[in-house]
Amino acid sequence: CGSPGESANNKELGSFFDVLTGYDNPKNDQTDNKKYVWVMTALSAPDQLRQRVAWALAQILVVVTSAIGSREDRAENFLAFYDIFVRNAFGNYRQILKEISYNPLMAENLSFLRSKHSAYVWKSSNLRVFADENFAREIMQLFTTGIIHLNMNGTPRLNAEKETTLVYTNDEIQSLARAWTGFDLQNKRGNIEKGENRIDAMKIDPQWRDPFPKSNLYKGYIGDGYPLCVDFPKRMFLHKGAKYKLLGSSSLPKLISDPIDFANDPTIEKFVLDQNSLLRKYIHDDSLGTFPISVTLVETLSCTTIECNVDTVRVIQVSSSPDIFYEYVQPPCVQNAFYNNAMKVSPNRYYNAVTCANPLLPVASEACCEIGKSDAIRNSIYDGERMSFDTASARCDAISLETCDYYQFNPDMYSKYSSKIGLHWSTKSCLIRAKINAEGDIAIVYEPSGYLKLDGYVDENTQSFFKANWDYGLFPSVLNNCDDVCGKTSDGQCLCETKVITSTIFTKMPSSADDLLANAIVGSLHPDVYDSVTYSKKIDEEKGITAYLVGNKFDANTIFEYLDTKGRLHILKNSIETVRIVGKQGEFTGYAFRNAPQFMSLLDKEISVRDAEYETDATLDHYFYHDNTAPFLSVRLIQKFGISNPTPRYIKTVASAFVTGKFLHKDNEFGTGNYGCLNSTIAAILLDREARDFTLDPDPSHGSLREPLLKVIGVMRSMEYSNIPTILVTKMSNLFKLIGQDSYEFPTVFSFFLSDFKPLGRVGDASLVAPEAILTDMPKSISLLDGIFSLIKYGLSSCVKGFGRSKVSCYEGFYSSAIGTLDYRRTPNNIPSFTYETFEGPSLVGGFDNPWVGYYGYYKHKFVAVDDPTTNTTTNHVLTFQGNSEDRFDKYMFSPEIDLDSSGSKYVVKFKYYAIDSNDTGACIGITEVAKSEGDYKRRYCHGYSAAYELPYNGAWVTCQFQIPDDIKTFRIMIAKYKHNYDAYFDDIQVVKGSGDTCVNVVLESFTPPGEEGYSEAIVDELSTLLTAGRMHESNKNVIREAFDNAGTSEAGLRIAQQLMVTAAEFHSTNPIKRNGLDRSLATPSPPLGKPYKAVIYLMLSGGCDSFNMLAPYTCDKNNDVFDDYKNIRQQVHLPKRRLLEIQAENQVCSSFGIHEDLGTLKDLYDDNDLLFFANTGALSKPVTKSNYKAETNIQLFAHNTMQDQAKKVDPAKEVLNTGVIGRMTDSLTQSGYKVDSFSIDSHAVALNGRPGISTVPLIIDRDGVSEFNERPSFTDMDSTIGVINSATYSDSGFFAETWSSNLFTSLDTNKVLQSSLDAVETKSDFPGSGLGQRFKMVSKLIETRTDRNVDRDTFYIETGGFDTHSNVDTSLQSLFQNINESVKAFTKELKEMGLWNDVVLIQTSDFARTLAPNGGDGTDHAWGGNYFMFGGSVKGGQILGSYPDNLSESGPLVLSRGRVIPTLPWDAPFQAISQW
């Protein structure tokens, strides 16, 4: 089967996409195929709105290509993922959530692919690991709920103390991570790209899925609202709602598990429906002979024959000719973790592991023995049959045997490994105990009566804890000897006896729907499924609640029905189960918790794909229907469609459309009426008055900056891009590097932009956000403009920093290097033959009527149209040469090709000539067959230069003509200027019938100039509409019109107008502007103080560095060996001492520590007393403990963006918003008179932000250096004209437009200043070619320019990523640390060569450290406190500051779940020391 929507290969189109099949050798471009497809679709797909919505969704539900191991040479995997958004752009968001959650790329991207639950790994590998938390975090933070509780209008929901509240904590992440275990790739198939199958939706291995209860975001559990399996009526397979799926000729089920022998062992008894079966007739109509794929019963059927004798079925056979089987798909239901009267179930033999089961459920089989005997036999109706304990007992009674606690199954009848033996009921009872840890979490412990071996998932050593909802928050505490009501396990936890109590909730109709939903949390089947019970219906129409009563009273049998505002039908029981902790005599101890539901069975043979998929759906529904999802997604989507700061009213409108699935605009209703409908949501975004009302344009806060990639595509679409006919694929290159954005090149899971990004300037000052401003830094703004300029001037090529891939020769208006061109108003190739030239131009204000060209057709010439020097009017324009003729080529100009007819007529070229005086001007006119100075007739007339005839001078215009030789039918008129000392003029050049060469009595024909008055105005107005939606300021349009008219030809004028238009703020933002008529100017820098130079470098290891493997304990007190703690908790990811470089330390828990083996440079610096570590450091607002950290920490812990922000800002009290710790230092220095420059390499850094108006704006420099902007301008004053277009504006002018113009002005000025300085610098050391190495090299070069820049102090920001090591942490760190080691080594060497080692300090930080305990993918997850370093010649190194934790076990006073360490040293401390220095 192909992928959804996959098109068949069309051989008629030829071969132009290389695909890696493994059977051939592709030529190239396989990796970029996906990008080419995206560009071509964006340019020409007929469903542009669908594509636009898909692009918006792709930026929310992000797959980071660099996180995919098989990314090279692959396209199909990524295209299939992106197609999820295209396919569902106007569908339902719930479907998108499901598809991306099952998609292999997302699973690899967020590292839950092949994640296994803890008990499974312990059982199979003897390792204590945890479920990977990556996806569980990001699906909430980024894809559904967000972090902070929101009102429907997007404003924060505040608690009683007027504080924001969190949607989730790490407890919920850790719990829900277990719902994302078990996912694996589907088997390979042949019709996809080579390699593993990363296209088809993943399968779930149920053995890998965590089976235990999972707490949700509402202090309940995943599974709340679902019916209990024990409440299903007997023979549910015949009741309304039962579902069957076609298996075909195979009898093996797909959603539950039967032994493989069941398919090919002829002795296997199958469940065959007889001819009279109503179920068979319902599924298969003999008269039609068809077998439907799926069947759901819409009514309850009566049983016939064997159907009446079984509790349930698994696979049924409906036909024997041919053999056709259906799998019974039990409706979703949950089992409560605790229950009374548990019974032991056993496998084949006594020495195999036994477990416990609920006797009311059909989950085991019968085992029948003779009285007093222990060898069992079976009495099943079909092999693999499951039944309840009572049914099993009845089966044994039927053959005069009894249910028994058997020794083995009769070996004479059953082999030791018979597939017919599964789990079987015994007569022995079970105790179900609660194992309780210090946090009150619970694990399930079974204790059957009489066993040799117990299933490891439920024995006393289990570590499979889950959250319990304790009454009043009280529980037996291991810290208080379990309150003397429970025993203890060998690992020191409480082990308590339990008893389940069922209580009625309502004795009358609930007071409200909220009352019902808050308290009735156990689901039920609909009452009409229970045919054996009679219900009466009571309806409260005001509340919308229906109660189904038995005996006309409210009791535990009552069932409630309620349809909520999101379209969910709730069918709920009027009862709840509570688990009581009882004493040794069964007495109630006062401790109790709510019974927790679970989808997955704890019986090995009952663990199924079906239940894992049900649980996955329930988890997705939990996110999807969360109250936060609608407003959170509404804000994100609105921002993607042009409004960065939507009003609460607008957000509520869109969120309501998401919830109701409807949006009404005038008389048109959009949407399906279903919650999560994107049709209605997108309609609300695009059609709401806030998106369309032009009266909002004057509001400076309205609108947004535009995405760089959409600007490029917008130019290509509006300017009518097309490939040249021989090119089938539109190939663009290096877009991400050049402009910071490209399809399939998302840098992080946060996409290209941060939704809450506040740039410096008017936007930030107004506490507004501008996500796209993050890509308006100097390198990207300049590269964007250079790339669009190249596209306009040369077509799609790599000419002069273009976005294309090919380059042959690069000349403006000459497209030999291009694979495609912008065809908007471009002169077609079939140019009408030249007839005359008046030099009045397209707008009749001077210019060229025809497309004259320079030498070879592409060199520029210096001929221009000017006012006639012999008159005092501007009504006539003539040709002259401006400049000098020292250049070899610019002194020539050639007309378009002229084709004479074949009539035999003779033709002449007529023209007018004027010279100021009699001095030889060197002006010539002639003809040539090509656009160069060759041919016998190239100079017919010249003034003071070798030619056939001398141009006469008489102080006035002279009119001449020369004849075209009869043998020339195709030619160009050539005009040249060989001397530049004296002015000469030509006018009114004509090709007409005639003969002879003369300047006597020549009369010009009468021709009307072909231009039209106002032509440039019309063009510029149209460009304004196409490129800026008509926003272009009138003064800017005037500037562009003038430049158009001065260009000479309409083609050159159009190119100039297009270029100038795309530099304007109105193009880069959705704001109009209000110019104040002033030029922009930079503040005059203060002179330096002349004090010795110093620099601070901030190094961010982005993603969360696993710093407990950067600095690990080594030699410690034998009474407190922290290395043993480290080894025990880190298990397979710990570093043995042989892989650590030992360093000595004082005043720490250990006398020596170990640095990672790949960080030898750090060890050398430490030993030289030039580097120190600061231990257990992190974001803190005050000192906290394990017991109070949640209440006392005002920071959103464990999330990348919030924790990284804390490290960069060091402002936990939010005293100085939108500033960074280095920026505030810079402010302080500036206010003290120091001249300070701040640089971030490659990307924006809030760490460098200061208070508005104090310090100079931080500069962003590309690691590859600074290149010249617009190095081949289309006219002389182009850069200054761009400055005029982006000149100063009033304070109430559009904020986003101002952000672009101010950033561009600063960027262009800085670009000029730095280019020459940096070009002159050569480093003395060899830096690695990695991104980090080149960033350090650029810092070195900038430091070298300190004298040119006249500064006292510099601050720098460097960031390098890859540290989000949710999988394979050891392998990843080796590569990452090697890069750091070599980069630091080169940098320190360079500083010493410059003699500045004592004048530079580097401090390293990261988002957070990582969990000490690994996950199932040999990775580690987000944590808190970590270890970091600082180095420099002035650093008092050779020491570890702060306090390294003295206990790394989970019982340690600073260690939270999974080894998340509470920091003891705040970020303030090291930065305080740096600021003093």
Q: Taking 90 as the threshold, does the pLDDT of residue 1118 lie above it?
A: no
What does the block give as tokens for 806?
A: 């090919």
Strand locations in 845-929, DSSP E? 863-867, 877-881, 892-894, 898-899, 907-915, 923-928
**The pTM is what?**
0.93
Mean pLDDT of 9-35: 73
* Strand pairing report for 1094-1101 and 1353-1360: parallel
Q: Is the pLDDT of residue 822 over 60?
A: yes
Candidates 1073, 1071, 1209, 1157; CA nearest to 1370 is: 1157
pLDDT at 22: 63
Does the pLDDT of residue 73 top 80, yes or no? no
CA distance 963 to 909: 6
Q: Three-state SS for 442?
A: strand
Mean per-residue pLDDT for 929-949? 84
Q: What is the pLDDT of residue 974?
A: 94
pLDDT at 806 over 90: no
- For residue 831, is pLDDT > 60? no
pLDDT score of 1400: 97
- pLDDT tens digit string along 271-319? 999 999 999 999 988 777 789 999 999 999 999 999 999 999 999 999 9
Q: How confident is the prediction for the chain on average, in pLDDT?
A: 93
| Per-residue pLDDT, 28 | 61
More confident residue, 886 or 1147: 1147
3-state secondary structure 1357-1414: EEEECCCCCCCCHHHHHHHHHHHHHHHHHHHHHHHHHHCCHHHEEEEEEECCCECCCC
Cα 815 to Cα 725: distance, rounded to the nearest angstrom: 13
Do 152 and 656 touch, CB atoms closer than 8 A?
Answer: yes
pLDDT digits (tens, 9 = 90+) for 696-722: 999 999 999 999 999 999 999 999 999
**7-16, 51-60, 557-566: least confident range:** 7-16
pLDDT of 908 higher than 70: yes
Q: Is residue 566 within 8 Å of 677, Cβ to Cβ?
A: no
Q: Mean per-residue pLDDT for 1413-1420?
A: 93
Per-residue pLDDT, 23:
63
Q: What are the tokens at 405?
A: 């606690």
| Residue 1138 CB contacts under 8 Å (≥ 6 apart), including other chains | none
Task: Return the pLDDT at 1217.
Answer: 85
Dihedral, 929, 932, 936, 942 alpha carbons, nearest 10: 120
Strand partners, 972: 928
CB 149 within 8 A of CB 159: no
User: How confident is residue 26, by pLDDT bands cut at 50, 70 and 90?
Assistant: low
Instruction: Name the pLDDT band for 554 (thresholds 50, 70, 90).
Output: very high
pLDDT the model gives residue 31: 84
Q: Mean pLDDT throughout 807-830?
A: 81
pLDDT value for 181 = 97
The enclosing H or E element of 142 equals: none
Say if residue 1396's pLDDT is above 80: yes
| Confidence band, pLDDT 50/70/90 cuts, at residue 2 | low
Residue written as tokens 């970091």?
1428
Which residues are within 8 A (CB) of 1131 and not within 5 positions of it... i.e. 6 or more apart? 127, 128, 129, 1413, 1414
- Token pair of 654 as six digits: 């869109």
CB count within 10 Å of CB 725 equals 6
pLDDT band for position 728 (cuts 50, 70, 90): confident
Q: What are the tens digits of pLDDT across the range 329-351?
A: 999 999 999 999 999 999 988 78
Cα 1225 to Cα 1248: distance, rounded to the nearest angstrom: 9
Q: End-to-end CA distance of the chain: give it in Å, rounded.
A: 67
DSSP string, 451-493: -S-B-GGGSTT----B---BGGG----GGGGGGGTSEE-TTS-
Among 1373, 1331, 1346, 1353, residue whose Cα is nearest residue 1097 = 1353
In the predicted model, what is the mean pLDDT of residues 524-552? 94
Whether the per-residue pLDDT at 828 is higher than 80: the answer is: no
How large a percentage of the chain has pLDDT more than 70?
98
In DSSP terms, 470 is beta-bridged to 593
The strand ranges marked E within 1127-1263 are 1140-1144, 1150-1156, 1171-1178, 1236-1241, 1259-1261
pLDDT digits (tens, 9 = 90+) for 957-966: 999 999 999 8
Q: How is residue 88 written in tokens?
A: 């569902």
DSSP-assigned states of every residue in 13-51: G-S------SSS---S-TTTHHHHHHHHHHHH-S-HHHH
Find the range with the poorest average confidence among 252-256, 737-741, 1010-1014, 1030-1034.
1010-1014
What's the pLDDT band for 902 if we cut at 50, 70, 90?
confident
Q: Other C-beta atoms within 10 Å of 13: how many?
A: 9
Q: Which residues of 1054-1076 are buried (b: 16+ CB within 10 A; e: fewer)?
A: bbbbbbbbbbbbbbbbbbbbbbe
- pLDDT one-digit tens code per residue, 461-477: 999 999 999 999 999 99
| pLDDT in the model for residue 24 | 58
pLDDT value of residue 1193: 87
Question: In this structure, are strands 1400-1406 and 1426-1431 parallel, antiparallel, or unpaired?
Answer: antiparallel
Q: Are 1262 and 1334 in contact (CB under 8 A)?
A: no
Opening angle at CA 100, ends 189 and 169, nearest 5: 140
- Mean pLDDT score, 917-937: 84
Q: Encode pLDDT of 1340-1365 as tens digits.
A: 999 999 999 999 999 999 999 999 99
- Return d(Cα 977, Cα 1011) in angstroms, integer: 26
Lowest-confidence range among 137-151, 329-343, 562-576, 855-869?
A: 855-869
- Position 936 scores a pLDDT of 62
The Cα–Cα gap between 95 and 968 comes to 71
| Mean local confidence (pLDDT), 1049-1055 | 91
For residue 885, is pLDDT > 70? Answer: no
By residue count, the chain amounts to 1477
Q: Measured between alpha carbons, how far is 1119 from 1123 in angstroms, rounded to an integer?
A: 11
Pairwise CA distance, residues 1411 & 1414, whole Å = 7
Question: For 27-46, what is each residue's pLDDT tens digit?
Answer: 566 888 899 999 999 999 99
